Amino acid sequence: MKTKLLLVAVSCLFFFSLTGYAQMAPPAQMQQSLAGRQGLERLLKTSNRMFWDGRFINEMAVTALNDPEIRSALGVSDGQNQEIQAARGKAMSAFADNPEIEKLHDEIRAIYDFDDPFMLKADEETAKKFWDMQDKVRNQEVIYMSDALDKILPPELKQKVNESQLAIMGEMPIIAPNMFEALNLTDAQKQQMKKIKKDFEPEFEKHLDNFVKGSMFLLDKRYAEVEKQGGSIENHEAFQKKLMEDPAYKRVQEEIQTQGKAFSEKFKIKMFDVLTDEQWVRLQKLVDDPTEYGKILRTKLRKERGEREKTEAWAPGPNSW
């Protein structure tokens, strides 16, 4: 059981710690390792696709409940939070105990090297097999947990969470149709939004390919600079400034962010067209005068982004669009 949960934890680690991965992998080894590069490219795509599919909203909400300030703003008592977190833990255990997942874990365990956690030394065939299985487990886990949390969270809490997502929409690089459910969409409107999203899929995938290509270019530049500085960074602000002095680095970073915003704006406008006048007014009110939770979440996101921009070099992930 511990091994199974460890493998799930490894999956989550890969999923949410892209920056840590970049810092832990030795530059030369990372650049020479096909397995390492292949894994990071897949993670970048998978994480962004899950945001695009709206699969992280419930997970973000449950994680946020561990913050007393957010819990208070949402009107969730300590006891309610403990019940929600316990239910989440049971759902994770149930997922790990699923026979199909157990089989995948056995296959992963057969080729996984705990002395080489990022499979940097694996050959191409082994790396592909490993990442194929990791992708399968990761995708099934996110879908399973998203559906499980949807049943765990009280309806009034889900409404508040959706309202907050709309309130911070301007801070998010990727939006999903289920964010708009706070506006009481009709079934016809939900279908319209799903069709719009489907129509945008080819453009999204093309943009995602460009995003990953640009991200890997920036990481290579970053690794090279770290190596020049002896393998460690003591002054992050000076390090970021040094990177931005490279015209190619600056150009690619700006292209990633500009193209990402352009795509998101184009997509949002199409979604807005589905709304009625009454829903549009409601949306504007949520953005201009968000709920207490929305205000707190927006403030925290802006603070985190500001601190990151001041102290750290660009790092890949859904929030880097």
Whether residues 177 and 145 share a domain: the answer is no
Whether residues 221 and 120 share a domain: the answer is no
Task: Identify the pLDDT of residue 250.
Answer: 92
**In whole angstroms, how far apart are CA 223 and each of 127, 214, 239, 254, 308?**
22, 14, 11, 19, 18
Q: What is the mean pLDDT of the chain?
A: 80
Domain annotation covers residue 160: no
Interval 248-278: pLDDT, tens: 999 999 998 898 889 988 999 999 999 999 9
**In whole angstroms, how far apart are CA 1 and each of 7, 87, 102, 133?**
10, 18, 10, 19
Task: Identify the pLDDT of residue 320.
Answer: 56
Is residue 126 within 8 A of residue 35, CB to CB? The reply is yes
Q: Identify the weakest region by mean pLDDT among 164-173, 216-225, 296-305.
A: 296-305
Taken in order 77, 82, 84, 85, is the CA torsion positive or negative? positive
Burial class (CB in 10 A: 0-12, 13-18, 19+), 248: exposed
Domain annotation covers residue 50: yes
Domain annotation covers residue 150: yes
* Domain total of the chain: 2
Domain enclosing residue 26, as ranges? 1-155
Q: Identify the weakest region by mean pLDDT among 136-145, 237-246, 297-306.
A: 297-306
**pLDDT above 70: percentage of residues in the chain:** 81
Interval 57-92: pLDDT, tens: 888 888 888 888 888 888 899 999 999 999 999 999
Whether residues 182 and 271 share a domain: the answer is yes
What whole-number distance in Å separates Cα of residue 35 and Cα of residue 30?
9
- Global pTM reads 0.76
User: Who contacts 288 (Cβ-Cβ below 8 Å, separation ≥6)?
Assistant: none
Q: Is the pLDDT of residue 35 over 70?
A: no
Q: What is the mean pLDDT of residues 98-114?
A: 86
Whether residues 146 and 69 share a domain: the answer is yes
